[in-house]
Structure 1
């Protein structure tokens, strides 16, 4: 069923009107709420970040709801897996077209729930389209069965097939609800799995709108269930019931999810925190480098796992770069418009504002200098905060090594490439990194030395983030496993090796028979080596 419009569905008397300044139709919200597995009768007030007002009362799930979702999903998954690649491809491509047709409603909802600008929201919607299209088309090529070379040529044939793991448990955060959901859910569906997803309350409406497009396209409703609620309760139930776990969030929570999954030998992919570095080499155009740096640091108000929080700039260009970076940052337009007239939105919650404010206050108290920004903007909305550039940051400050996850970046001056590389790698994290250089060859050479799951040259994060045919993930405390690309699809299947005897010659079954075959087999081993046969 398509998402209803205000003209097609009457507004129930107990549904409040829309929050001032938001485009959300209360009838549509109430209809989406019915897609949540919830029998508790309890709700949570979700705020509108632009205003701080209550946006809607989200129904909450229980562990019983999670168990019911898994039971229904397992039944639905049997038929979905048997339907085959061609059927799944058609359904997913229909979902792609529905998402494209509904993009304005998706953008409105995403901005209203997260406080993003229209441009940053569009970046996320476009990512969902790319992920859906890629997995729909690539799944058969990546996951179809294939012949492999036998260890006993002529005597045995060997084939590998891929069997869907069953039901994936997906836990997603509030900051990029659409794209982070799609990068786990869509490949699971394309591989023949079902999904039980624990949505963060703040991003639940966006996820429900995403799911509705897939259901309308032909995905069975029970195949993709959405639950809500407290992570320590509902999230643990999702992890406990899963045949494979996908988690995106903080490193401390990810470690708990990983330990819980490991206790039952359940596989998991975990994309966790980052303290992502950028290296600015001394051959850059300072103006262009500053524009790249500003977008990489302040997109979605820095509430992005791959955004840049540390910049190491070579001394030869440091003064010019910092001057241009400050000018560019101060010129960014903050606002809550539901169009493309603003450059930066708002922080999403009071907790985010508190964290950013505490990191900044601690840095200034210990001697850091604010070069740009550094102020909350309650005149624009309760959680607005100016994009902030710091210099003089030292290890004594919380923002030196801890992830701020907000619009605060520290700039450091270094003398050499090697010093920059060592400083960039001196972190417990390793999610994303960036190198800006006037020479692509030089930039690539420096990129080869950085310890991160993805590295962008002359770009901040969008190059690797948008490369849906390439793996994405972290090293060190930034996680394990990969999403996107063939690696992202293969997470959701178990490879099964099937070997069959040809009957040309019976394999030996007694010591005497092995003795007779020893010499021919040795000659065969030498021959295979001579022709470089694996």
Structure 2
């Protein structure tokens, strides 16, 4: 890799001299581009190679392999090349991790909020110090461009910072009693050992968003990393070790083929008192059913079908920028991506033209290449779903104005950023979450009409709308059946904001001051005999 970069720099240096021949003028840029592309397909060089943990998971403060010795392969979605292997944990391995977390809980729960705060703050500092390496791991196993990956690391670390500040501020209440002489107090206590199951689309942020509040409240965790992107979670676990998180408090395990079996253990073992899951609605329902046997507390952040509404009175340029940010972030692979873009008839053509022109400027490719704005999708199943939605829309009368096809010249998991007009509610994209770089534009006439269509979905995670009418802003924000609303913005995620949905998008909130309560129980204590007069 070093030699490749050196050769590339030599070629770049050569272009700074006067190039006299036409052949040189044509050839040098092509050669440089060729070497840049070749270099991007090679393994990234980490400043700290020890952050790449292969064939081991983090259990009880130690790096251990699966008892069976089995592993699974993890591949780069950009190139299809092997990144490495991770342990295939099974039921017995998972129970060992649960046992370690249960043992650690007996001590960790009694640490003061200030002590837990300092541990989380140290963990935050280490993530920021190692931001470049963590971003490289994210780009390598997830595919998103380096700029996006660095942004995710900052976002992920900020959950540790936020909850480090919440940990010392866990308060109960004093409640006036209706019984003379009694005093009622409430105590906020950690719920216990928590099972955390995270997705691949934000391999750093999803794990910190769950671990941060759990540790702040005094809980211990067993976190199951996603099979597609395990190495980011394992690197974060290594930083937990360096931060001095006590053994057994944080346990990070991996599985691929054994994922259903591991999930079964986490949801049925009585030692686990809470499950937090981010993923599809179908899997969320299955986990909820499994949890019923032991009545665990649940937080579920599930699928979405986000409406994005642009009214006639909106600033079109602001709305276009918001739609770009919401729809195409991480190549459309986020649960809060705009999935149905509704534009009022009066500005539909103007919006569609400006939106399409912006999408045409995107540069798709390997996330390690300079200037790349959008990377690959995570795997071939994602590609198949995206293509199916585009073909379904075309078949039913929609018009593809930008993109619409795979990009095999880049690799098997690339799809062109796509804009489709003349969408109707009969098309698959209106009902299903695309989870890819495809924007379908629907035309509507009235506010009442679009709100009704937006609310027709069975899920309700996020929604967006753009308007400069203050009365409409309040009215529509209250009538949209979603857990989160973005008004004149396409970005709503923030550690300070409560994240979660309604309907079949799940329940519970992550981040914010509300997020820590998901990992607590409220204990009521009534004191009698408190009304006696003072003794003389």
TM-score by length of 1: 0.87
Q: CA–CA distance in 1 between the matches of 2:487 and 2:236?
A: 32
Of residues 331, 337, 340, the one that matches 2:361 is 331
Cα distance, 1:457–1:30 mapped onto 2, change above 3 Å: closer
1:237-248 mapped onto 2 (5 Å cutoff): 237-241=265-269, 242-248=272-278
Selected match of 1:201 from 224, 227, 242 = 227
Residue 58 of structure 1: aligned partner:
86
Deviation readout 1:464-485 (Å, 9 max, x if unpaired): x11x233211111111111112
1:27 to partner: Cα distance: 5.5
Tell me, what secondary structure is at the counterpart of 1:73? helix
Q: 1:21 aligns with which of 32, 35, 42?
A: 42
> Secondary structure of the residue that 2:504 maps to in structure 1?
helix
CA shift at 1:292, angstroms? 1.6
Counterpart in the other structure of 2:254: 228
Question: Counterpart of 1:501?
Answer: 528
- Encode CA deviations 1:461-504: one digit per residue, 9 max, x unaligned: x23x11x2332111111111111122211111111111111354
Report the equivalent of 2:57.
35
Distance (Å, rounded) in 2 between the aligned partners of 1:146 and 1:380: 59
Partners of 2:337 and 2:288 lie apart in 1 by: 24
Stretch deviating more after TM superposition (232-241 or 425-434): 232-241
Q: Counterpart in 1 of 2:397?
A: 367
What secondary structure does 1:448 align onto? helix
Contact 1:19 1:54 in 2 (8 A): no
Structure 1 residue 395, shift from structure 2 partner: 4.1
Give me the whole-angstrom Cα distance separating, in 2, the residues matched to 1:284 and 1:363. Answer: 27
Task: Report runs of 4+ in structure 1 exceeding 6 Å deviation.
Answer: none
CA contact (8 A) 1:167 1:195 kept: yes
* Aligned ranges 1:141-156 → 2 under 5 Å: 141=169, 143-153=170-180, 155-156=181-182
- For the Cα contact (< 8 Å) 1:197–1:238, is it kept in 2? no
Tell me the secondary structure at the aligned position of residue 375 of structure 2.
Answer: coil
From 476, 483, 490, the counterpart of 2:503 = 476
Q: Residue 441 of structure 1: CA displacement?
A: 5.6
Measure the CA separation in 2 of the matches of 1:399 and 1:301.
16
Report if the CA contact (8 A) 2:40-2:368 is conserved.
no
Within 5 Å, give how 1:53-132 maps onto structure 2.
53-132=81-160
* Cα RMSD (Å): 2.0
Shift of 1:235: 1.5
Q: Which moved more, 1:450-459 or 1:218-227?
A: 218-227
Report the CA distance shift for 1:123/1:438 in structure 2 as closer, same or farther (over 3 A): farther
C-alpha offsets along residues 220-241 of structure 1, whole Å, 9 cap, x if unaligned?
A: 2321111222321112212223
Deviation at 1:120, TM superposition (A): 2.0
Q: Is the 8 A contact 1:24 1:109 kept in 2?
A: no
Q: Is contact 1:165-1:492 (8 Å) kept?
A: yes
Q: Shift in Å at residue 187 of structure 1? A: 0.5
Q: Secondary structure at the match of 1:207?
A: helix
Kindly state the Cα deviation for residue 356 of structure 1 after the two structures are TM-superposed: 1.0
8 Å Cα contact 2:57/2:87 also seen in 1: no
CA contact (8 A) 1:145 1:162 kept: yes
Give the aligned length: 484
2:443 to 413, 419, 423: 413
Partner Cα separation in structure 1 for residue 370 and residue 213 of structure 2: 31
Tell me, in whole angstroms, the C-alpha distance in 1 between the residues paired with 2:154 and 2:451.
Answer: 33
Q: Could you tell me how far 1:40 is from its partner in structure 2? A: 2.0
Cα deviation, residue 19, structure 1: 9.7
1:44 match: secondary structure: strand
Return the TM-score normalized by structure 2: 0.86
Offset, 1:150: 2.0
Q: Does 1:212 align with 2:238?
A: yes
CA drift at 1:205: 0.5
Question: Paired residue for 2:372?
Answer: 342
Cα distance in 2, alignment partners of residues 221 and 301 from structure 1: 38
Match of residue 308 from structure 1: 338
| SS state at 2:174 partner | strand
Q: Secondary structure of 1:201's partner? A: coil
Question: What is the CA–CA distance in structure 2 between the aligned matches of 1:272 and 1:33, rounded to whole Å?
Answer: 30
Once the two structures are TM-superposed, the CA of residue 448 in structure 1 deviates from its matched residue by 2.0
Q: Do 1:440 and 1:457's aligned partners in 2 also have CA atoms closer than 8 Å? A: no
Pairs within 5 Å for 1:273-288: 273-288=303-318
* Structure 2 portions without partners, runs of 5+: 1-38, 59-63
